Structure 1
Amino acid sequence: MELDRADILWEASSVSGLEIHRRDLDFNGWIFCCLGFSEAGRHSSSAGQSWVFGKSNVSGSRNLCELRSFGCCRFAQGQGNTTVTFRCAVCLSPTVKSGQKNYLNFSKLLPSQWGDHFLNISIADSDFDVLAREMEVLKPKLRKNIFTFSSRDKDAMKRSILSIHVLDSLGLAYIFEKEIVETLKHAFEKIDELITDENDLYTVSIMFRVFRIYGHNMLSDVFDRFKRNDGKFKESLMEDVQGMLSFYEAAHFRTTTDHILDEALSFTLDYLESLATDSKAIPPHILKHIQNALYIPQHQNVPVLVAREYLSFYEQEEENDETLLKLAKLNFKWWRELDHTKSLPHGFRERTFESWFVGSMMYFEPQFSIGRIMSAKFILLLAFLDDACDTYGSIPEVESVVNCLERWDPEYMENLYGHMKTAFKFVMSVYKEFEEILKSQGRSFALEKMIEEFKIVTRTNLDLIKWARAGQIPNFDEYVEAGGAEAGSYATIACSIMGLGEIGKKEDFEWLLSRPKSVRYLARKTRLLDDITDFEEDMNKGYTANALNYYMKQHGVTKKEASGEFHKMIGDINKIVNEECLKTTNISRPVLMQVVNYGRMVNILYTSDDVYNHREGKLKDYLTALLVDPIHL
């Protein structure tokens, strides 16, 4: 079988149908990526046997060589002359000339473990409508129970605030957002009256958390009442497990001036860690709740995971509100089914649900389903372009695609070849889809801002590649600043604002482009966490552009010492972001929450390993909990 030019093969398939299987084989310095095929009208994508073809026709095409094998897909061998039609077949590797250094040792990204599992789920519209109707029946009752009380009744107001905490933890706050905002506004005006005689650690901690979540700067000196005369926290506090856990959670809202919360974090952490090792001391559901908080506290966790974990916890609580619990379960099932009805196109399958998960971390509320899909496609785009440039492209080739992206004109694509042409086409395809959505919303300005942010990603990516290939050691701070942009921090936040619909205004994008302090520091945090996680893999590939590597060389310290310093920096960044969010009043709360949720997403992606690129471990646990584990009504 003869294969013609890669660009001809590419043009035979729509770019929107791209299937990034990334099951790659290296032959004589060449890496080929099979992007899906069909045989006799059947589509297949599971890994398996290799097929060997003859020499490809390379006339008029650059960056092609003899195609030895595609070991990417399995299909039954037919008798006689079996016809195999590739939807896409592109070479994703630069030409390696004789004596030329092969830049990187390619590391395979394993295919998704989910296959067609979720795509085969069929959901009837009638089932979806039933869930929605059941939810509507419950809302008025909860609205009355939680938000109807006399403004002079301090105890009722406190109970309402405690209920708001439960709503927020269960992922239901968006349903009662107007009532929550009004209630907290009036309550904060009477904050001194509310807390004067309140000495319950759990209640004070919850109130502190709720007010700060919604932008009210409740002072941390409220916790002074829980100290002894010698300045240490009272030992009697340790008799209240739930109170200590809530105090621990409250400590994560600390700013650079909340020194008492630094003490609280140390105090509660020691206690909870000792408690977590004694499984017989407390009920199992509370133990699990503590273990979840120790792994990632709620304020550092993404709302969709908090909601799933808290639902399991709240269901086991003896004094739970049955109506509230039922609404939470219905909401979660409705949310699952809503996104299944708007799943990504078939061609994005190989990282569909991993990428969807990233989008869900930015916003999980059902009304932002389109935004989740847009974010998922953008994450796929970033990953694809990053690999095409970092792993496969020579510097001249990367420069050529960056120059074409700067012009943002499809006509310049004719100046590109092979994998760089493929990357450019993919970018244009995804942004074309964004353009159609935004045009229908009357928000074309958002596309212009997204293009601007994407150009920044590609420029900084080129800078990092040049540093790595030349063995150059830039100043650590210079690298972290550039690396934060290259990691897509600003572009990802811009994409999430774009996905908010009419909520995301032109002024919000201009604010983001001004690089406010909170966003700048989150970009730094991204680079630090990413490079801690990927250090060993980067070094094994010969990719020296890594913050840990540069810090070790610049300061003459060990990896362990550098990693310790990075975690101190990250702790300080969390304080700064908390502080800046309380100060920021010129941006709407939904937009500001995209910044907060971006920081939370980074925590999830890099706390244990590179979650997006490792199919086992925490990623599997997360997706199983969100999409597989049953929720019984």
Structure 2
Amino acid sequence: MAVYNSSSSLTCPPSNIHIEINAENGDITPSLVACRTASQKWSIIEATSSDPSKPHQMILNGHSSKDELLNEYEQKLEDVRELLNSEELQNQIESLMLVDAIQRLGVDYHFQEEIEAILRRHYVAATTCVDGYTYYTLHNLSLFFRLMRQHGFCIPADIFNNFKGKDGTFEGKLKQDIRGLMELYEAAQLGIEGEDILDEAAKFSGQIVGNRLKHPYHKSIARFSAKKYIRDLQDINGWEKTLKELAKMDYYVAKTAHQQELTQISMWWKDLGLVEEFKQARNQPLKWYTWSMASLSDPSMSEERLELTKSITFVYIIDDIFDLYGTPEELSAFTQAVKRYETC
């Protein structure tokens, strides 16, 4: 079991956040413990019951063996791929809902080609037909707009003018469409400078549903919010059950990979010896790794996450050297050396 402590490096709060991660099932248990010292950092502590030199085992999640889990995992991937390629969903709005669910569950990296094909069909259909956008409801148009912009398709913001009244403001009757307003709020997060209508949309929808969307999808990390989305996903369209099962398996497969990587980073950091050399510097391998995990979410990018984490580590250490250790003369010489290196 890995144990993480969080506390300020400058002052000692009344208590520390103490988090235990169960290596068997991945459950996270937060609790409060007394603060020990003012210099304590957010760090990884090796519990006596675990051996960090041993890799984490695959979390089987009810399966009798790793092979059984992986076989079923591959089958679920194929089932979802067949859903995405289904002729019944070719140009229906339900295909966009399926793409959205896949993204929110953090498993979209498996289906990039299929998702691109679906979105391109919708884009062509909407942009080549006369009044191609008018048949959408507020929810459907907002979902269409958000997905298109997220994937680089050029969709004008003025398509939302259809939902404005003669006075140039969004129609009051839309206030009853909570589902549509929530999606409009999400879509408005992808506005660019000068698109006043999206600013108006964000303000209009935010006044009604803003408290329910403190973390819009475009400004959050799917891997961190997937568990909640799995709980909220309703079995309405028939494909939700298959998608839920895949998402749960993918979650455990990815979790195992992240645990193994975190173990490697912890051992690398310990072997580096800088924690002993700079005792006042930050000792936060979990935090440094989290940056990489958030920015490189594809589980297959393990080497990239490890290397990026190491680079981030040195950014923090250099920052601490400037703040805590170096004299002005030493820091000036160090800065000049870096500048010379950059110009080589």
TM-score normalised to structure 1 length: 0.42
Contact 2:84 2:114 in 1 (8 A): no
Amino acid at match of 2:42: S
Matched position secondary structure for 2:236: coil
Query: Which of the residues 301, 309, 334 maps onto 1:376?
Result: 309
Counterpart position of 2:123: 188
Pick the aligned partner of 1:141 from 79, 98, 103.
79
Q: 1:109 to 1:375 in 2, by over 3 A?
A: farther
TM-aligned CA deviation for residue 245 of structure 1: 0.8
- Residues in 2 aligned to 1:319 and 1:166: alpha-carbon distance in whole angstroms: 12
Q: Say if 1:395 and 1:247 are closer, same or farther in 2 by CA, change over 3 A.
A: same
Q: Deviations over 1:264-303 (max 9, x none)?
A: 0110111124xx4xxxxxxxxxxxxx2xx22x32212233
The alignment partner of 2:87 has SS state of coil
Check conservation: 1:304, 1:360, Cα contact below 8 A: no
Q: Distance in 2 between matches of 1:244 and 1:23?
A: 40
Report if aligned partners of 2:139, 2:183 keep a CA contact under 8 Å in 1. Answer: yes
Shift of 1:304: 2.7
Q: Which amino acid aligns with 2:80?
A: L
Secondary structure at the aligned position of 2:173 is classed as: helix
Q: CA deviation at 1:195?
A: 4.1
Aligned to 1:256: 193
* The one of 349, 352, 355 aligned to 2:285: 352
**Aligned partner of 1:346: which letter?**
M
Q: SS of 1:171's equivalent? A: coil
Distance in 2 separating the partners of 1:376 and 1:242 = 39
Can you list the C-alpha shifts for 1:69-108, whole angstroms capped at 9, x where unaligned?
xx98xxxxxxxxxxxxxxxxxxxxxxxxxxxxxxxxxxx6
Q: Conserved in 2, the CA contact under 8 Å of 1:131 and 1:334?
A: no
Which of 107, 112, 132 is the equivalent residue of 2:42? 112
Give the number of equivalent residue pairs: 289
Q: Which of 83, 89, 96 lines up with 1:161 in the alignment?
A: 96
Instruction: Give the distance between the partners of 1:116 and 1:311, measured in 2 at CA.
Output: 32
Aligned to 1:227: 164
Distance 2:67 2:313 in 1: 31
Q: Which residue identity lines up with residue 204 of structure 2 in the other structure?
A: F
Structure 1 residue aligned with 2:25: none
Specify the alignment match of 1:202 in structure 2. 139
Note the aligned Cα RMSD (angstroms).
Answer: 3.2
Q: Is 2:9–2:40's contact at 8 Å kept on the other side of the alignment?
A: no
Counterpart AA for 1:391: L
* C-alpha separation in 1, matches of 2:9 and 2:156: 55
Q: CA deviation at 1:251?
A: 0.5
Among candidates 230, 254, 263, match of residue 335 of structure 1: 254
Cα deviation for residue 164 of structure 1 reads 0.8
**2 CA distance for matches of 1:272 and 1:304?**
23
1:124 aligns with 2:57: yes
1:115 is paired with a residue whose SS is strand
Aligned to 1:243: 180
Aligned to 1:472: none
Distance of aligned partners of 1:109 and 1:265 in 2 relative to their CA distance in 1, 3 Å threshold:
farther
1:463-612 equivalence runs, <5 A: none
Q: CA deviation at 1:401?
A: 2.3
Contact kept, 8 Å, 1:298 with 1:306, in 2: the verdict is no
- Matches for 1:39-54 after TM superposition, within 5 Å: none
Q: Give 1:305-324 correspondences, 5 Å limit.
A: 305-314=224-233, 317-319=234-236, 321-324=240-243
SS at match of 1:341: helix
Unaligned ranges ≥5, structure 2: 1-5, 11-35, 61-65, 271-282
Task: Work out which of the two has the higher radius of gyration on C-alpha atoms and give 1 or 2.
Answer: 1
Contact 1:162 1:207 in 2 (8 A): no
Q: What is the correspondence of 1:14-33 to structure 2 with a 5 Å cutoff?
A: none
Measure how far apart 1:263 and its partner are. 0.5
CA contact (8 A) 2:235 2:241 kept: no
* CA–CA distance in structure 2, aligned partners of residues 262 and 204 of structure 1: 17
8 Å CA contact retained: 1:228, 1:234 = yes
CA distance in 2, matches of 1:129, 1:369: 21
1:395-444 residue CA offsets vs partner (Å, 9 max, x unmatched): 21012223444566xxxxxxxxxxxxxxxxxxxxxxxxxxxxxxxxxxxx
Could you say if the C-alpha distance between residues 298 and 397 of structure 1 is closer, same or farther in structure 2, counting changes exceeding 3 Å? Answer: same
* Displacement after TM superposition at 1:388 (Å): 0.3
Q: 1:214 and 2:151 equivalent? A: yes
Please give the alpha-carbon distance, in whole angstroms, between the structure 1 residues aligned to 2:295 and 2:307: 11
Identity score, percent: 22
Amino acid at match of 1:183: I
Asked if the contact 1:389/1:398 (under 8 Å) is kept, the reply is yes
- The 2-side partners of 1:401 and 1:322 are apart by 57
- Corresponding letter in the other structure for 1:362: S
CA shift in 2, pair 1:391/1:243, >3 Å: same
Contact 2:44 2:266 in 1 (8 A): no
Q: Is the 8 A contact 2:44 2:284 kept in 1?
A: no
1:629 is matched with: none
Deviations 1:16-74 (CA, angstroms, capped at 9, x unpaired): xxxxx99999xxxxxxxxxxxxxxxxxxxxxxxxxxxxxxxxxxxxxxxxxxxxx98xx
How far off its partner does 1:347 sit? 4.9
Could you tell me which amino acid in structure 1 is paired with residue 303 of structure 2? I
Q: 2: distance between equivalents of 1:400 and 1:126?
A: 50
Question: Does the 8 Å CA contact 1:211/1:217 hold for their aligned counterparts?
Answer: yes
Gapped regions of structure 1 (runs ≥ 5): 1-20, 26-70, 73-107, 277-289, 409-451, 457-633
Q: Report the residue type matching 2:159 in the other structure.
A: V
What amino acid is the match of 1:168?
Q
- 1:392 offset after TM fit, Å? 2.3
Alpha-carbon distance between aligned partners in 2 of 1:332 and 1:365, rounded to the nearest angstrom: 12
C-alpha distance 130-200 of structure 1, shift in aligned 2 (>3 A): same
